[in-house]
Structure formats: structure tokens, C-alpha cells
Structure 1
Amino acid sequence: MATFQHPVVNLENQAAGSVELLPEVFKLEDINKHLIWEAVRHFQAKRRQGTASTKDKWEVSGSGRKLWKQKGTGRARIGSIRSALWKGGSTVHGPHPRNYDYAFPKRARRAAVRHALSAKFAAGEVLVVENWDVETHKTKALIATLTKLGVNGSALLVGAEASEKVALAAGNNHKLLAIESLGVNVYDLLKYDQVVFSKDAILALQEVVKP
């Protein structure tokens, strides 16, 4: 496969070489927006707790005795105090615990990541740094580093392996998220304004999602 060169910088925003990337992963011309939407929908469905629960008639406490005879009283017929028509009674067709996850092919998920990455590249919202060897876990220091890199707004910070210092620093700022390359998903790619990969991370992700 033919590759193209993408610049790499260090954490001081100085040139540090380049990385070979595949256009089949990062430079797709026809972005499949529906596939991206489906990947986001699947991601959100998996995150739903599905714990909403209401009581059916057999679960509501109360006697099963018929309250009055069927006919002759002039009142509406009633079979149980647990009827959904009464206060404190059951719920008709109410929600019950369920799993909202559904099958979404692995090939489709990987293709959706490729299309999302291509959209971010086309918008100029992807940056590659040499590594994430920061000196401290302080959030203020990480923000200063990102400012040097020209990263403004929210950012997704991707490393080949979990960096404890970066994770701690990003964890105190809701606009930042630090993840490993194998944890990259379409939802996070779209949620954050910019994506900052380490060189090893972008190569590892490319190897996984390439066609």
C-alpha cells in the first residue's frame, strides 16, 4: 500500500520527523456519514444502563380479593385492588430491565473509525506528537503543553499505552480525555475538537483498522 508522510512534533512543538500513514485509513474521499452515525448509535446503546423498572400487577402488594360483587352495586366492576386503574396499582406496559446492545459487525466498526479519522484529517484536527513523556501529572502543566502545540478547546489525547501522568492530568479537566490507541472509538473522535496522537499510538491504531 502507498503511504504518505505526516509531520511529527515534540511536546515543545518542534519538528521531530514524520510518520508514514495509509490514505486508506486517513484520507478517504467519500465519507460515509451514515456508517459513522450507526457507530455512534451502537456506542451509546452499549452505554445505556437499561435499569428502568416498573411493577406488573402480580408484583404490586395487596390482596387478590374481589372488592365487591360484579353486579348490582351501581359501581364500576373491579377485580383487584392492584389494578392499574387505581392509585398504588400496577403499571401497564411499563419499562423493565433490558439490554440495549445490538450486533454491529467488527468490520463495520473499523470502517466507521477510518471514515471518522478521515473526516478529522480533512478538517485539520489531528496532530501527531513524538511521545507523551510529560514531566508531571499536574493539569496546569498539561494545558500549557497543549497550548504550545496549538491545541485549543477540547482534545482527545491518544497514547500507545496508558500514561499515568497524562491520565491524571487530563482527568481533572472535562475538556480532555486520555485513552490508549486500542480504545479509540467514533463517538470520542467526534466529541472532541482535536485529536492528539503519539507516533506509536497512531501507527498501532492504523494497524488495527486498516482494510
Structure 2
Amino acid sequence: MEVSVVKYSGEDTGRKVTLANNIFGIEPNDHAIYLDVKQYLANQRQGTHKSKEKAEIAKSTRKIKKQKGTGTARAGSAKSPIFRGGGRVFGPRPRNYSFKLNKKVKELARKSALAYKATESNIAVVESFNLESPKTKEYLKLLVNLSLDGKKSLLVLPDVDKNIVLSSRNLKNAKVTTAAQMNTYDVLHADNLIISEEAVKRLEELYH
């Protein structure tokens, strides 16, 4: 699959880059995508939720009422879950939600996500560029030139470029990543994928 390479200004360079079929042209595997996205979202969870149970409540242990004859549930103390301010029954406890996923499954999921974007023609390859200093309006200019302002976009770079990352950070629908750090969730969440010319080569090296 061939895609035209455009300049930062949005003009066509007259050159084309070939997107490898073993990455952008595979049959997408939906189950691999599901597992990778599930793992990504699970890893984002802090798991710090906690509520106090009966043994952890600081209240008097005096028996509230007699055991029988009241017509209501028995209660040993004010810590009982049936009272307001009492302990919670089987409340949430801190836990780790992350789980392991094989590298080959993750690789297949990312290839599948890229293949979907290629099928939908939502990939733009841009000529490598640099920003002299972090300026949001400069990055916004790129999106306007590519007619992607107002759309969710993901820019994939070969390596971390601090100025470009800082320039995009204030834009709600724009995200920047590198070929090595790219994940399935971000690719699918974006309406359009912008890949720098050098990043295409890096992706081919990573997913050969």
C-alpha cells in the first residue's frame, strides 16, 4: 500500500512511501485487540479503593439491644453493618488489576489496529520536521494544514521530541507518541493517524 508523503505545510512532496503489507495489510484480529485494550485499561486503574469493614470501625462494642424479642435483626454493637456508620459488608479492598499478556498477542493487536486505520484511509505520512521551541500554535498549524484540527489525532514519531510533545500537550484531541511506545488503545481512539516518514521505517523494524 502506497501513501503520499506530505510536508509540514500540508503540500505534497511528490514522494510516496510503501506501507508494509505484513503490518498495515494483515487481516485484523479483533480478539487480540480486545485483550490488548483490556490490559491497557486495567493497567491504568490505581486499585486504591477501600472501605472499612466491621473490625476496622472505631465505635463502642456495647450490645445495642437484647438478642431476642425485638422483632428486628440482632445486633452486637454499633459497628454492625445494619446501622448507619457501621462497617461495610465485603467492601472493596486495594488490589492490582494488571495482568500479563504475551508479546506476540500485543504485537498482533497493534498490527491489527494499524491495518484498520490503513483500510479506512485514515493514515497520513508526514515529512520529518522539528519545532525550534514548544509552541502550541505551531503544532496546531500542522493539524490545520492536514485538515485534522478538531479531530482526534495521534502523531507517531521515531524518537521522543520534547518540543513536539510539549507543543501538543494543551490540545485536547491531539496526542504524540513514539513507534516503540505506541499502543493499540491510542491508535483506535484516534480518528486519524499521523506517522512521520522516519517512524514508518521504525515500525517496520519493530514489527518485521
- The amino acid of 2:91's aligned partner reads G
Contact 1:82 1:88 in 2 (8 A): yes
Q: Which residue of 2 aligns with 1:180?
A: 178
Structure 1 residue 74, shift from structure 2 partner = 6.7
Q: Which residue of 2 aligns with 1:137?
A: 134
Normalized against structure 1, the TM-score is what? 0.87
User: Which consecutive unaligned segments of at least 5 residues does structure 1 have?
Assistant: none
Any idea what the Cα deviations from partners look like across 1:28-47, whole Å, max 9, x if unmatched? 1x322232122211111110
CA distance in 2, matches of 1:72, 1:32: 64
Alignment of 1:18-97 (within 5 A): 18-28=16-26, 30-71=27-68, 76-97=73-94
Change (3 A) 1:16 1:142: farther
Normalized against structure 2, the TM-score is what? 0.89
Contact 1:16 1:130 in 2 (8 A): no
* 1:128 paired residue among 125, 138, 147: 125
Structure 1 residue 78, shift from structure 2 partner = 1.8
Matched residue SS, 1:151: coil
Q: What RMSD, in angstroms, separates the aligned Cα atoms of the two structures?
A: 2.1
Any idea what the Cα deviations from partners look like across 1:50-105, whole Å, max 9, x if unmatched? 11111111101112333344346776532122010011100011111111111221
* 2:13 paired residue among 12, 15, 31: 15
Q: Which moved more, 1:155-164 or 1:61-70?
A: 61-70
Structure 1 residue 116, shift from structure 2 partner = 0.4
User: Which consecutive unaligned segments of at least 5 residues does structure 2 have?
Assistant: none
Change (3 A) 1:69 1:117: same
* Pair 1:118 & 2:115 matched: yes
Contact 2:8 2:142 in 1 (8 A): yes
Aligned residues: 206
Alignment of 1:125-204 (within 5 A): 125-152=122-149, 153-204=151-202
Structure 1 residue 24, shift from structure 2 partner = 0.9
Structure 1 residue 9, shift from structure 2 partner = 2.5
CA distance in 2, matches of 1:149, 1:75: 70
Contact 1:9 1:15 in 2 (8 A): yes
- The amino acid of 1:150's aligned partner reads S
Identity %: 33
CA distance in 1, matches of 2:42, 2:12: 42
